[in-house]
Every structure is written in C-alpha cells, then in structure tokens.
C-alpha cells in the first residue's frame, strides 16, 4: 500500500527544483542581455533593470524556501510500519527467526480505508499485525 503524502512531497520537491532551475536560467540569460554598460553611440548608462532585480530576489527566495519549509526536526519515531506481500509468511519469519512476539492483529475495511491509503477501489481491506521485541514495536501491513 502506498500513501499519498510521499508521492506529493516528491512532486513538490521536483516542482521546486524545476522552478529554481528555470529562475537561475532566466537570471543568467538576463545577465548577458542587460549588462548595465553604456549603449553603443549613446553615451548614457542603462537604467537599473527592475526585472533583473526581481529575478535576483525571487531566486534567492526560492533557494532559501526549501530550507524553511522542510527544516522541521524529527522529535521521535512513534512507530515503524512495513508493507508486506504475504503477511502470514512475514509474521512467521519475525516470530520464529527473530523472536518477535505478536501483540495485536487487526483488519480494517471500508471506504474510509480506501480514502486513507488513496485508493479508488471500494472493497479494500488492510490487515495489520503489531510485533514486539523488547521495547521496540513494528507493524506489518498487508
């Protein structure tokens, strides 16, 4: 099962990267066209180009935006969930080979589950098993 959030996060990061690249490209193109040197034969200097200033500050903001948007620090890991293909086989592996203990088994179904996982199918069900080893707990999902 895939969640929507990582896919959308990848899309946003890709979009920000593309915007940053395009702005840098535009800024470098403008830099070559508008050099600020006197015009040929005119003898007067060009006025400061507002587009150039706008692009410069926009580029600075875009370069700094991901640092502010994505700079939240993780406080704690509240749980680890692993999506598996064959839940019974994986539970057997974790309990017999790695000495995990099964503490809870749940099965969810309905339109809420489909909406939670971003699926369009109506008859979706998710089975989950919580396993514990010492103080650590993991959740296997099928």
Contacts of 55 (CB under 8 A, 6+ apart): 23, 26, 27, 30
Domain that holds residue 10: 4-69
Residue 75 located in a structural domain: no
State residue 106 phi and psi, 5-degree precision.
Answer: -135, 155
Neighbouring CB atoms inside 10 A of 37's CB total 8
With a CB cutoff of 8 Å and minimum separation 6, the contacts of 36 are: 45, 46, 48, 49
- The DSSP bridge pattern shows strands 80-83 and 125-133 to be unpaired
128 and 92 in one domain?
Answer: yes
Domain end, chosen from 49, 69, 89, is at: 69
| Domains contained in the chain, number | 2
Predicted confidence at residue 101, as pLDDT, reads 92
Picking from 38, 69, 100, the residue at the C-terminal end of a domain is 69
Q: Could you say which of 43, 69, 95 is where a domain stops?
A: 69
Q: What is the pTM assigned to this prediction? A: 0.45
Q: Is residue 86 part of a domain?
A: yes
**74 lies in some domain:** no
Q: What was the pLDDT predicted at 32?
A: 55
CATH for 96: 3.10.180.10
The strand pair at 136-141 and 80-83 is best described as parallel
- Are residues 65 and 84 part of one domain? no
pLDDT in 10s for each residue of the chain, 142 residues: 455 556 666 666 666 666 666 666 566 655 555 444 555 555 444 455 666 666 766 666 666 555 555 566 667 777 788 888 888 998 998 889 888 899 999 998 877 777 777 777 767 788 889 999 888 888 888 8
């Amino acid at each position: 099962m895939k969640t929507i959030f990582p896919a959308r996060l990848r899309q946003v990061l890709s979009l920000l990267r593309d915007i940053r690249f395009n702005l840098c490209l535009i800024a470098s193109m403008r830099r070559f066209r508008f050099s600020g040197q006197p015009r040929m034969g005119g003898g007067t200097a060009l006025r400061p180009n507002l587009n150039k200033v706008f692009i410069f500050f926009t580029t600075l903001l875009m370069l700094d935006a991901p640092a502010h948007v994505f700079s939240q620090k993780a406080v704690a890991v509240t749980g680890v969930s692993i999506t598996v293909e064959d839940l019974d086989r994986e539970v057997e592996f974790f309990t017999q080979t790695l000495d995990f203990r099964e503490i809870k088994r749940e099965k969810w179904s309905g339109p809420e589950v489909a909406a939670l996982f971003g699926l369009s199918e109506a008859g979706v069900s998710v089975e989950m098993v919580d396993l514990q080893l010492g103080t650590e707990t993991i959740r296997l999902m099928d």
